[in-house]
Amino acid sequence: MNEYEKLLARARSQVPEDAFKKSGERFKVPKVQLIVQGNRSIWQNFQEIISILNRPGKEVLKFVAGQLATAGIFEGSAAIFNGKFSAEVVDEVLSRYIDSYVICPVCTRPDTTIVKEGNAYYLHCSACGARTSIRPV
Ligand SMILES: [Zn+2]
């Protein structure tokens, strides 16, 4: 490793730490609260979680239902899926959504919005200004 590479490696290793310091507090998403009623799974704190994520419920519902390979609907502040799922499984799917569509891959902060340009979708980060190409949900 030459001096320049060392410098670069050090700069890179410092990025997540600095981003973390700036954010002060980690992005907190509550655990999925889910109950099974008959053949349906009711995600009770759906509305609360999507408002923290700052994402349209329709989009999150579509992603989660797609990953669970079932159908989902809104009912009040809950989302209801056909079939029996555990809170852990839905939590895991939600983490996947957050990693792909909420967290900025450059600075790891959640201050992002999804921007559509033509047929392309981008995750735009208001914290670091990065624009990342993403797949549509
Ligand atoms: Zn960023």
Q: What is the pLDDT of residue 18?
A: 45
pLDDT at 15 over 70: no
Q: Report the separation in Å between the CA atom of 130 and the middle of ligand 1, taken as the mean of its atom positions.
A: 5
| Ion ligand 1: residues, CB < 5 A | 104, 106-107, 125, 127-128, 130
pLDDT at 24 over 50: no
CA distance 30 to 14: 28
Q: What is the pLDDT of residue 14?
A: 55
Q: What is the pLDDT of residue 91?
A: 97
pLDDT single digits (tens) 123-135: 999 999 999 999 9
Averaged pLDDT for residues 3-19: 62
Any idea how long the chain is?
A: 137
pLDDT single digits (tens) 84-93: 999 999 999 9
Q: What is the pLDDT of residue 27?
A: 78
Q: Report the separation in Å between the CA atom of 107 and the middle of ligand 1, taken as the mean of its atom positions.
A: 4
Q: Report the separation in Å between the CA atom of 128 and the middle of ligand 1, taken as the mean of its atom positions.
A: 4
Report the run of H or E that residue 78 belongs to, with start and end: strand 78-82
Q: Report the separation in Å between the CA atom of 54 and the middle of ligand 1, taken as the mean of its atom positions.
A: 16
pLDDT greater at residue 11 or residue 79? 79
How many degrees, rounded to 5, is the angle at CA 116 between CA 111 and CA 120?
115
Q: Report the separation in Å between the CA atom of 24 and the middle of ligand 1, taken as the mean of its atom positions.
A: 15
Q: Report the separation in Å between the CA atom of 15 and the middle of ligand 1, taken as the mean of its atom positions.
A: 11
Q: Report the separation in Å between the CA atom of 70 and the middle of ligand 1, taken as the mean of its atom positions.
A: 33
Three-state DSSP class for residue 19: helix
Residue 26 pLDDT class (50, 70, 90 cuts): low
pLDDT at 23 over 80: no
Tell me what the pLDDT averaged over the chain comes to. 89
Q: What is the DSSP string of 105-116?
A: TTT----EEEEE
Percent of the chain with pLDDT over 90: 78
Q: Report the separation in Å between the CA atom of 85 and the middle of ligand 1, taken as the mean of its atom positions.
A: 33
